[in-house]
């Protein structure tokens, strides 16, 4: 296939006419496809139904240290749940607090606490003239929503294949004391599916920020979300790397079972230094007497251990992998060689990141919507919803069936071609 930009105006017009005919047919199909968020499919949720039977009215309700899980207490989670979440994150259980059902909640609380109370004995951020955060882009819209909510200024950091631009990060944090943190999804990043290299993780842990209260928000949401049994990239444990680098309090790591068990009824955890845990508990003890220990108990009894959870994730991969491959294969066959887009082929996580020609993303998303397919809004993967190139689109293949994904990918490719031809004719 010849690159579109090599074609003459007349050749482009001929292609446009054929594409418009094809698009009119697609509009008549009455498709209703939603790929706006990384929702688990019903088949994935079915795999976890046994959780509902793991603890019932005849069960022993005591945790391994003898606590009655029906009652108050246990602010930092039952011991077996802390070990369970520590195994998922690859950290030591002594660094873990188990919370309620969502890690987003913990991230919001953490930033909120830094704003109101400060951290590491420093001035609360709300009392400072300027607070800035580094945001690797494209990134996770809900991270950016938290910092925007608190009026924190966000600075775009470009992503490379091995993680965010560390030269830029090292320079910025060393020079500017008002830069207080960075958002990171270190494994199968949202939306690019990037895995941070060992070097990036170690350089991150060894940062020398001007701000004593600079914090890395390490959202390890997809730590065990592999798509391939024989290709499971690993990354170093950021908690111990920060300790080694003499920055033990610099990182807060988050994870949950939200896309492992039930999305609204999982368990979530924070891993951080002993000093940070003591600081967190000061306000946590005002906020709650403890989270849902029965839910913690049934998760551990259902999955049992690290091997149990990895076996479960491989069953999930069997459901997810064909959907990802359907999208990748169709994009390859429909768009390769045309010079109008590039896309990621992740080894795990929940998203495929697509980069269209600059100035085309919003128009592509609109075209898809007009033919019955909802995508994440163009620009959502950037702070303030503003993609300076109007190029990045996040594709979420998890929820639709494989057949629906094939239809969706064909429609998406068609819209990419149409919008790209229009753009080239304009130019």
pLDDT digits (tens, 9 = 90+) for 347-389: 999 999 999 999 999 999 999 999 999 999 999 999 999 999 9
Q: Residue 7 is inside which H or E element, if any?
A: none
Share of the chain above pLDDT 70, in %: 100
pLDDT digits (tens, 9 = 90+) for 66-91: 999 999 999 999 999 999 999 999 99
Which of 304, 257, 306 has the alpha carbon at shortest distance from 40?
Answer: 257
pLDDT digits (tens, 9 = 90+) for 113-162: 999 999 999 999 999 999 999 999 999 999 999 999 999 999 999 999 99
Q: What is the pLDDT of residue 34?
A: 87
Which of 274, 264, 319, 267 has the alpha carbon at shortest distance from 291?
Answer: 267
Residue 281 has a CB neighbour count (10 Å cut-off) of: 13
Q: What is the pLDDT of residue 35?
A: 86
How far, in Å, CA of 165 to CA of 168, rounded? 6
Q: Determine the topology of domain 4-44+310-426 in CATH.
A: 3.90.1150
How far, in Å, CA of 32 to CA of 416, rounded? 19
User: Cα angle vertex 64, ends 60, 70, to 5°?
Assistant: 50
What's the average model confidence in pLDDT over 35-44?
Answer: 94
Class of domain 61-304: alpha beta
Give alpha helix (H) positions in 254-374: 274-287, 293-303, 306-335, 361-370
pLDDT of 217 > 80? The answer is yes
pLDDT digits (tens, 9 = 90+) for 223-274: 999 999 999 999 999 999 999 999 999 999 999 999 999 999 999 999 999 9
Residue 105 has a CB neighbour count (10 Å cut-off) of: 14
**Summary count for the chain: helices (H), strands (E):** 14, 13
CB-CB contact of 207 with 169 (8 Å): yes
**Beta-strand pair 341-343/33-35:** unpaired
pLDDT digits (tens, 9 = 90+) for 164-193: 999 999 999 999 999 999 999 999 999 999
Q: What is the pLDDT of residue 1?
A: 67
CB-CB contact of 67 with 73 (8 Å): yes
Per-residue confidence band for 2, with pLDDT thresholds at 50, 70 and 90: confident
Sequence spans of domains, the chain: 4-44+310-426, 61-304
pLDDT digits (tens, 9 = 90+) for 264-308: 999 999 999 999 999 999 999 999 999 999 999 999 999 999 999
Tokens representing residue 227 in the block: 């798509």
């Amino acid at each position: 296939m010849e690159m579109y930009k090599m074609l003459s105006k007349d050749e482009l017009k001929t292609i446009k006419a054929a594409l418009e005919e094809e698009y009119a047919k697609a509009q008549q199909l009455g498709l209703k496809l939603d790929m706006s968020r990384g929702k688990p499919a019903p088949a994935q949720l079915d795999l976890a139904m046994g959780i509902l039977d793991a603890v019932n009215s005849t069960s022993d309700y005591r945790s391994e240290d003898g606590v009655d899980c029906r009652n108050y207490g246990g602010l930092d989670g039952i011991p077996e749940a802390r070990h369970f979440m520590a195994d998922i994150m690859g950290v030591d259980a002594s660094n873990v607090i188990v919370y309620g059902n969502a890690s987003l909640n913990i991230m919001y609380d953490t930033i909120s606490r830094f704003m109101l109370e400060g951290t590491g004995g420093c001035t609360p951020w709300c009392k400072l003239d300027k607070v800035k955060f580094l945001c690797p882009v494209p990134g996770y819209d809900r991270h950016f929503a938290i910092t925007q909510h608190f009026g924190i200024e966000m600075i775009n950091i470009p992503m490379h294949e091995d993680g965010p631009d560390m030269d830029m990060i090292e320079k910025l944090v060393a020079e500017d004391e008002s830069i207080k943190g960075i958002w990171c999804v270190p494994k199968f990043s949202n939306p690019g599916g990037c895995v941070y290299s060992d070097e990036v993780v170690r350089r991150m842990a060894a940062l020398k920020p001007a701000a004593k209260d600079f914090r890395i928000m390490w959202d390890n949401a997809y730590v065990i979300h592999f798509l391939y049994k024989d290709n499971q990239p690993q990354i170093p444990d950021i908690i111990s790397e920060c300790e080694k680098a003499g920055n033990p309090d610099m990182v807060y790591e988050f994870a949950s079972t939200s896309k492992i068990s039930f999305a609204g009824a999982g368990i979530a955890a924070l891993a951080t230094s002993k000093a940070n845990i003591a600081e967190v508990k000061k306000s946590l003890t005002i906020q709650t007497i403890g989270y849902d220990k029965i839910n913690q108990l049934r998760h551990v009894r259902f999955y049992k251990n690290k091997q149990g959870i990895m076996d479960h994730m491989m069953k999930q991969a069997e459901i997810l992998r064909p959907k990802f491959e359907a999208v990748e294969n169709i994009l390859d066959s429909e768009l390769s060689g045309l010079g109008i887009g590039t896309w990621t082929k992740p080894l795990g996580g929940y998203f495929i990141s697509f980069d269209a020609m600059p100035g085309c993303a919003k128009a592509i998303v609109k075209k898809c919507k007009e033919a019955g397919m909802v995508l994440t809004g163009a620009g959502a993967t950037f702070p303030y919803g503003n993609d300076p190139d109007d190029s990045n689109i996040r594709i979420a293949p998890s929820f639709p069936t494989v057949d629906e994904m094939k239809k969706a990918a064909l429609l998406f490719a068609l819209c990419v071609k149409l919008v790209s031809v229009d753009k080239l004719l304009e130019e």
